[in-house]
Amino acid sequence: MRPGRLIGLLSAVLGFWWAGSAAAQTIPQYGQDRHVGVTSCAGSTCHGAVTPWKNSTVLQNEYVTWEQKDRHSKAYKTLLTERSQRIARNLGLANAHEAKVCLDCHAHNPPAEKRGRVFQVSDGVGCEACHGGAERWLGVHVTGLASHDDNVKAGLYPTEEPIARAKLCLSCHFGDQNKFVNHRIMGAGHPRMSFELDTFTAIQPAHYVVDEDYTKRKRVSNGVQTWAIGQAMAISTVLDGMLDPKRNRDGIFPELVFFDCHACHHPMSNVRWEPRASVGLQPGLPRLNDSNLVMLAVITQRIDPTLANKLKQESLALHQASAQGNEATVAAARALRATTGELVTKFAGHAFGKADMQALLTGVVEAGKAGEYIDYAAAEQATMAISAILTAMRRAGVVDENAYKAMRAALDKCYEATAKDEEYKPRVYVAALQAFEATIPKF
């Protein structure tokens, strides 16, 4: 057997194991363990060093990175701002910083009996919001003798696994069955949310380095695989919302956050509607936000063309159903959800090698030329996708430094064309995309 094939098989087996265990993972907020609080992690001999330690497996200055550069450390303070106070007022809440609906995402908000002595909700989205209540793993992990697996068995959340990570991030960056920014909260003034797993992991910013030692301790998913899994997980999470009777309707209307914000919110003088074959709807109808589906179509076409065809039919059916009514929408969402779940497992078991990276880069550009980025949300996802693929290509040595730099510079124009959502012009974006295409080396 060729080594490539063996690796493929191995990663397929690992992928299934990964998918199975990660999907079952309980996110830290709802976990069994007590949360000790950021202060307990921030000692100068623990994770509160000012500069990275030389002889340590981890950086030890994670707290400083989080405190100074990571928006999560400011998430609670956001609730004290004038903007949040206005949102709270509009929703009839006494204030934002004590409202469960806000704290569930803008802080680590486990129930009172799961909080340790020095735990403070005002720390915002702290270490344990992502890494899990430290009650059981704190003891063994400070000895330095525990392996990563030992820590995970003692309640550490496996943030390195892309499926588990996606589930965690999306629980706040989209919402879940217990916490959710619906259109009423948006209408009160909450900003639009968008998410791409690999990009957001990078800009958090990372408080760890993926070096040789890291890859010995943890399984590393390359950026393209992380992106692919993130797309399948994101749309799965959205579909779960559409299937949830508590979240999918608001009076006579369907819940509007499932729809493309800009389908309704853009100046009437900016006339830009064009038919899209993958949507199949007439003008004048709100469209579901299908930005993740557009990306998923590109990825699936490369990884499994048969499933890609099914995905295409089911996506079209969902768009059609959205114009018919709730029952039809739920039925179509259920069918599509089975497929997107299958894709999560598929992508977890696929190695995403050099040829995949090349094909996916081309695929994302082609989708734009075929008219898939008429809506802002899809262009935004495409831009983040290209960025994720380029970074992975550079790491894997698929492109040399000069080619990488030329493509990055061209990608800047795509970023410019998506900088202001309400001023988005599809033609300008596609022109930037074509200029980018000209910088792609012949593979």
Residues 178-197 that bind ligand HEC (CB under 6 A): 179-181, 183, 185-187, 189-194
Torsion of CA 293, 294, 299, 303, to 10 degrees: 70
User: Could you say whether residue 134 binds ligand HEC (CB under 6 A)?
Assistant: no
Minimum CB–partner distance for residue 151 and ligand HEC (Å): 10
Q: Which stretch binds ligand HEC (CB under 6 A): 233-241, 261-269, 345-353, 356-364?
A: 261-269
> Nearest CA to 47 among 141, 178, 136, 120?
141
Contact track, ligand HEC, 149-168, x by CB under 6 A = ----------xx----x--x
**Residue written as tokens 């490369």?**
302
CA distance 139 to 274: 60
Distant-in-sequence, close-in-space partners of 400: CB < 8 Å, separation ≥ 6 = none
Minimum CB–partner distance for residue 281 and ligand HEC (Å): 13
User: Could you say whether residue 388 binds ligand HEC (CB under 6 A)?
Assistant: no
Q: Which stretch binds ligand HEC (CB under 6 A): 88-96, 291-299, 344-352, 395-403?
A: 88-96
Of 20 and 205, nearer to ligand HEC (C-beta) is: 205
Q: Which of 146, 203, 243, 307 contacts ligand HEC by CB under 6 A?
A: 203
Are the C-beta atoms of residues 257 and 181 closer than 8 Å to each other? yes
What are the tokens at 390? 């380029």
One-character DSSP codes across 304-330? -HHHHHHHHHHHHHHHHHHTT-HHHHH
288 strand-pairing partners = 259
Q: Which of 22, 36, 49, 75 contacts ligand HEC by CB under 6 A?
A: 75
User: Could you say whether residue 208 binds ligand HEC (CB under 6 A)?
Assistant: yes
Q: Which of 47, 337, 346, 394 contacts ligand HEC by CB under 6 A?
A: 47
Distant-in-sequence, close-in-space partners of 263: CB < 8 Å, separation ≥ 6 = 286, 287, 375
CA distance 131 to 210: 17
Q: How far is CA 377 from CA 128, 196, 336, in A?
A: 31, 11, 20
Of 205 and 275, nearer to ligand HEC (C-beta) is: 205
Q: Which stretch binds ligand HEC (CB under 6 A): 65-73, 112-120, 275-283, 418-426?
A: 65-73
Minimum CB–partner distance for residue 372 and ligand HEC (Å): 19
Q: Which of 127, 279, 296, 361 contacts ligand HEC by CB under 6 A?
A: 127
CA distance 131 to 127: 6
User: Could you say whether residue 256 binds ligand HEC (CB under 6 A)?
Assistant: yes
CB environment 228-260: b (16+ within 10 A), e (fewer): bbbbbbbbbbbbbbbeeeebbeeeeebbbbbbb
Contact track, ligand HEC, 278-317, x by CB under 6 A = --------x-------------------------------
What are the tokens at 333? 């969402």
What are the tokens at 143? 């000895």
Question: Which residues contribute to the site for ligand HEC (CB under 6 A)?
Answer: 38, 41, 47, 58, 62-63, 66, 71-72, 74-75, 78-79, 83-84, 87-88, 91, 96, 99, 101-102, 104-106, 125-127, 129-131, 159-160, 165, 168-169, 171-173, 175, 179-181, 183, 185-187, 189-194, 200-201, 203-204, 207-208, 214, 218, 256-257, 259, 261, 263-265, 286
